Homo-oligomer: A and B are copies of this chain.
Amino acid sequence: MSALRFAAIGLNHDHIYGQVNVMLRAGAELVAFHAVEDDLAAVFAGRFPQARRVANKMEILEDSSIALIVSAAVSSERASLAIEVMRHGKDVMLDKPGMVTLDQLAEVRRVQVETKRIVSILYSEHFETASTVKAGELVKAGAIGKVIHTTGLGPHRLRKPTRPEWFFDRKRYGGIITDIASHQCEQFLFFADSLEAEILSATVSNRANPDTPGLQDYGDFHLRTPDVTGYVRVDWFTPDGLSTWGDGRLFIVGTEGTIELRKYIDVAGRPGTDHLFLTDRKGMQHIDCSGVELPYGRQLAADIRDRTETAMGQDHCFKAMELALKAQVLAEATALNSVQR
């Protein structure tokens, strides 16, 4: 069986490196890439000399030997690219967020149904995080009974001087909930094991960055399925003294136990990443998840070959973005009465 051949179009977020690597680890072959920005292309070419840079993305889209396109284009441009990729008979893996408006989502959904191509979004805070994968296994095995709640806390470091201009333009990055919290929407649906959820309340604001008024530096929302409640907070307030980019946490409450993830750091505690704390009927355990296999890339490669949905269900993928987009809209609709300044 020949290796899956794939290409990258759009390198505007560093997440492209995670997207490429996840497929390389799955045995796929990176054959080409396209970016209009010479500086971004140079760095990418240095990391992946096996990939040919093409001046016109049509060279990639019209190459029938390429099965998958990965893209970390500017967020607002991902939906139209995904549609173009599908219309050329290829599957697509986007950086999150996959789209920045509900209209974009509707159009991508429509074309996906029509073309039967795979639209996947690499939610790295789930699929590239060993403790989250492990938590999924534990929950599925019944370790904490029936899940009734999740709280996801997602502070991120701003690193303001390093960010490109589009990062501060609401229309292009999509708002903080769409952008960062789409990760959390996906995890909420995953742990709730549901495709139905509603947003109960949501806020966004700019609390401490008046020089970049287009940046929402804070967002949160309360949501639920018929059986599971959730809360999500995302922000750009990782303190300078934290030794990594964010103290990402996830709390999962079940009827018979709880799980806490300290995904990227155990603050002033144990070294390393991917700390999972399981408390159940029998006691409390710290589980080091650093050795857990991350199956997303392997599964997506198989899905592309077999036309299955093992890496992430197509409806699940779209529903997660729908939740994030709806929470973003609700937060902004109520922002006049809110803390936005």
Contact = CB atoms under 8 A, between A and B. Distances in A.
Interface of A: 144-146, 148-149, 151, 153, 155, 200-201, 203, 205, 207-208, 218, 220-222, 224-229, 231, 233, 235, 237, 239-243, 247, 251, 253-258, 260, 267-269, 277, 279-286, 338-339
Nearest to A260: B267
A59 B107 CA distance: 76
Contacts of A339: 224-229
Contact of A239 (B237, B241, B280): B280
A256 B277 contact: no
Q: Can you list the 9 inter-chain pairs with the closest CB atoms, starting with the nearest?
A: A201-B201, A200-B201, A241-B283, A268-B286, A222-B222, A208-B255, A240-B281, A268-B284, A239-B257
Nearest to A282: B241
Given A155-B258, A241-B284, 20 more contacts: A146-B207, A146-B208, A149-B220, A149-B233, A151-B151, A151-B153, A151-B231, A203-B224, A218-B229, A224-B339, A233-B253, A240-B280, A240-B282, A241-B257, A241-B281, A242-B279, A243-B284, A267-B286, A268-B279, A269-B269
A84 to B, nearest CB: 39
